[in-house]
Amino acid sequence: MRWYCLNTNTHGCRRIVVSRGRLRRFLWILLTLSAVGLILWQCAELLLNYYSASVSVTVQFQKLPFPAVTICNINPYKYSSMKDYLSELDKETKKALETFYGFSEGKSKVRRSVGEWDSAGSDFFKQIPLLKFEDFSRTATDLRSGQKRKIEGSVFHKDSSIVNSGDSNDIIGFQLCDANNSSECALYTFSSGVNAIQEWYKLHYMNIMAQIPLETKEKLSYSADDLLLTCFFDGLSCDKRHFTRFHHPLHGNCYTFNSGENGTVLSTSTGGSEYGLQVVLYIDEADYNPFLVTSTGAKIIVHDQNEYPFIEDIGTEIETAAATSIGMHFTRSRKLSKPYSDCTETGADIPVENLYNKSYSLQICLHSCFQKAMVDSCGCAQYAQPLPAGAEYCNYKKNPNWMYCYYRLHEKFVKEQLGCQQICKDACSFKEWALTTSIAQWPSTVSEDWMLRVLSWDKGQKINKKLNKTDLANLMVFYKDLNERFISENPANTLVILLSNFGGQLGLWMSCSVVCVIEIVEVFFIDSLSIVMRRQWQRAKKWWNDRKRDRSGKAPQAGELERQGHDNPVCIDEDLPTFNTALRLPLPQDSPLPRTPPPNYSTLRLESAFTEQLPDTLEAGQR
């Protein structure tokens, strides 16, 4: 066994034999036995997996949590309720349309000259004057005064992708100037008069709405009874108690189904349109603001209960007089954070205050960053975003410079010069519902009569008119199937893979293993450190003895000169020396060389084993 251990390529067995000291020998025995046990265990697992022929099939039916569905009317506020606040603005807008395009209620469409427009007392055109440009030049005509003037400032062409096929003289826009420095101006032109009038109207509209209290705006918008006619979920009837009101600055009162505010999140165990959310919405097209919105219907967004519904960014529009079916596929995604990507787990490491009181997302960060920059630069908050602490919404009575400041700041934001895109990061985990939309005519021609009569009867307690199909929208939101798709990122290089690659390279080129590495550590680190420490100890001891001798004045004794140190008992080899190692042992001083002793010839002398000769031998001798 000893010969095998000395001549084998198995490092552990060899180290057991050649190690000096009981402690080292015990440690190598423990390491070798542990390695053998691991090898046997892993080989047994490999053999069991290799010869295993079983097949495992798992069938699982699970419920999926139903997402929150937020529904808003495209028209944010009832026009009949808002007329008192918007009467002056609407009057000036109609005058601008009549002057520029010849629109007049009850009159022929004959274009009037700007000089015929009596605009005395028009505060809206004083704040943001509408201008008509000639041949894309910097010469413009003020629609309020009718005077031509040279326009200075940077020119920004809004919606320039729209090609204007009409007369170039019909290009209009408006000019925004710094209230503190009239030479600092920006000119915004539009290739479509519709877009120019709408943009001009929205600026004044936001300025008016910013001065109305929130409680008043909630009363001016649609209630749940106004918006919802019928509701079904998972085959069961539902009502307004299953919806939570959510006020959006640009869309008025919105209503979220399955918001989870009461701590309960609804789920569904079956896919298909019959087991999702089915609602019939009352749009009331006749009460729409004609200058604020140009389409009819509703907007919805599907989102998680902890996410903020950015209805203005990613909302899906629902048509009237149609049944809109939205099928969903649920996907849960998970990204690795640093050092694999630059995403954030909770947004706590982002130096931007979350103004939405919802879980972090990239959109929340960008909007919050812009609103913070708006408050810092312009002194007030933009109307479409939540209010930061201690701020108030902009209006040109208190902040006459806010429109110019807002457009300048928004320009920097779009060009990524504000720094928000560099600060904000993607969320590491998020949920997504992929939507597939299909539309069908609703109600059908043969069923239109009786359905409208029944719905009018159901709604008749609140309105005194027969419903029209253009006032209604049918919406269905459902899971197409209950397959949850999970996308996760896994590191391509882990510690196990790294060690395996190192082991493969060491084993392929140097026939080295973990035991070999431990052996290298033992020899080059532990033994080297032990030798250095022992020599330092001997030097220190010699220096101390010399110092004591110098103080006492005694001459060094012969025994002290010969005493140079002692061996570590742990490292003493207890095995007996072999013949070859014995020849290499040093000879003692003052001792003669050993000689080969002469042979003891007396041992070669034959001695008789018997004192007397036997009788039979005597007879043979006589013969």
Residue with tokens 């180290």: 15
Q: Please report the pLDDT score of residue 224 as a whole number.
A: 92
Which of residues 152 and 302 earns the better pLDDT score? 302
Measure the CA dihedral 250/253/256/261, to 10°. Answer: 110
Residue with tokens 């423990």: 30
At 139-151, the pLDDT tens digits run 766 666 666 766 6
Which of residues 609 and 375 earns the better pLDDT score? 375
Report helix, strand or coil for 247: strand
Bridge partners (DSSP) of residue 317 are 299
Q: How far apart are CA 298 and CA 38, in angstroms?
A: 66
Q: Please report the pLDDT score of residue 281 as a whole number.
A: 94
- Output the CA angle 84-88-91, nearest 5 degrees: 115
Residue with tokens 């959310």: 277
Q: Please report the pLDDT score of residue 502 as a whole number.
A: 75
Residue 27 has pLDDT above 90, yes or no: no
Alpha carbon 140 to its chain centroid, in Å, reads: 49
Which of residues 97 and 319 earns the better pLDDT score? 319
Alpha helices, DSSP H only, in 462-600? 495-510, 514-521, 528-552, 558-562, 579-583
- Output the CA angle 370-372-378, nearest 5 degrees: 90
Q: Please report the pLDDT score of residue 301 as a whole number.
A: 95
Measure the CA dihedral 189/193/196/201, to 10°. Answer: 160
Q: Please report the pLDDT score of residue 163 as a whole number.
A: 35
Q: Please report the pLDDT score of residue 499 as a whole number.
A: 73
Residue 464 has pLDDT above 80, yes or no: no
Residue 603 has pLDDT above 60, yes or no: no
DSSP secondary structure of 18-34: H--SHHHHHHHHHHHHH
Report residue 35's pLDDT band, with 50, 70 and 90 as the boundaries. Answer: confident
Residue with tokens 């036997």: 614
Residue with tokens 């490999």: 46
Phi/psi region, residue 105 (left: phi>0; alpha: psi -120 to 50; beta: rest), is beta
Question: Which residue type, as a one-letter code, is found at position 268?
Answer: T
DSSP element (H, E) containing 15? helix 11-18
Report residue 340's pLDDT band, with 50, 70 and 90 as the boundaries. Answer: confident
Report residue 364's pLDDT band, with 50, 70 and 90 as the boundaries. Answer: very high
DSSP element (H, E) containing 229? strand 228-233
Residue 120 has pLDDT above 50, yes or no: no
Q: How far apart are CA 353 and CA 255, in angstroms?
A: 26
At 269-320, the pLDDT tens digits run 888 888 899 999 999 888 999 999 889 999 999 999 999 999 988 899 999 9
Do you find a cis peptide bond into 597, omega within 30 degrees of 0? no
Q: Considering only 88-97, 241-250, 470-479, 490-499, which range has the smallest mean pLDDT?
A: 490-499
* Contacts of residue 493, Cβ cutoff 8 Å, sequence gap at least 6: none
Residue 54 has pLDDT above 80, yes or no: no
Q: Considering only 9-13, 165-169, 358-362, which range has the smallest mean pLDDT?
A: 165-169
Bridge partners (DSSP) of residue 188 are 156, 174
Q: How far apart are CA 4 and CA 8, in angstroms?
A: 6
Average pLDDT over residues 580-604: 59
Q: How far apart are CA 394 and CA 134, in angstroms?
A: 33
Report helix, strand or coil for 438: strand
The token pair at 607 is 């001695």
Report helix, strand or coil for 88: helix
Residue with tokens 């602490």: 389
Q: How far apart are CA 139 and CA 126, in angstroms?
A: 19
Q: How far apart are CA 440 and CA 319, in angstroms?
A: 10
SS3 assignment for 457-468? HHHCCCCCCCCC
Residue 523 has pLDDT above 90, yes or no: no
Bridge partners (DSSP) of residue 131 are 142, 173
Residue 159 has pLDDT above 50, yes or no: no
Report residue 164's pLDDT band, with 50, 70 and 90 as the boundaries. Answer: very low
Q: What DSSP designation does 344 have?
A: B
Question: Which residue type, as a one-letter code, is found at position 528?
Answer: S
Share of the chain above pLDDT 70, in %: 71
DSSP element (H, E) containing 472? strand 472-479
C-beta atoms surrounding 344 within 10 Å: 20
Average pLDDT over residues 331-338: 87
Q: Please report the pLDDT score of residue 549 as a whole number.
A: 80
Q: How far apart are CA 612 and CA 614, in angstroms?
A: 6
Q: Considering only 46-50, 593-597, 609-613, which range has the smallest mean pLDDT?
A: 609-613
Q: Of the candidates 189, 436, 407, 412, which has an alpha carbon nearest to the alpha carbon of residue 330?
A: 436
Q: Please report the pLDDT score of residue 605 as a whole number.
A: 55
Which of residues 329 and 130 earns the better pLDDT score? 329
- Output the CA angle 129-131-134, nearest 5 degrees: 165
Residue 206 has pLDDT above 80, yes or no: yes
The winner for highest mean pLDDT among 477-486, 497-506, 609-618 is: 477-486
Q: How far apart are CA 128 and CA 197, in angstroms?
A: 12
Residue 323 has pLDDT above 90, yes or no: yes
Q: How far apart are CA 226 and CA 235, in angstroms?
A: 23
Q: Considering only 122-136, 487-501, 594-608, which range has the smallest mean pLDDT?
A: 594-608
Sign of CA pseudo-dihedral 566, 568, 574, 577: negative
Q: How far apart are CA 621 and CA 272, in angstroms?
A: 131
Which of residues 601 and 83 earns the better pLDDT score? 83
Q: What DSSP designation does 93 have?
A: H
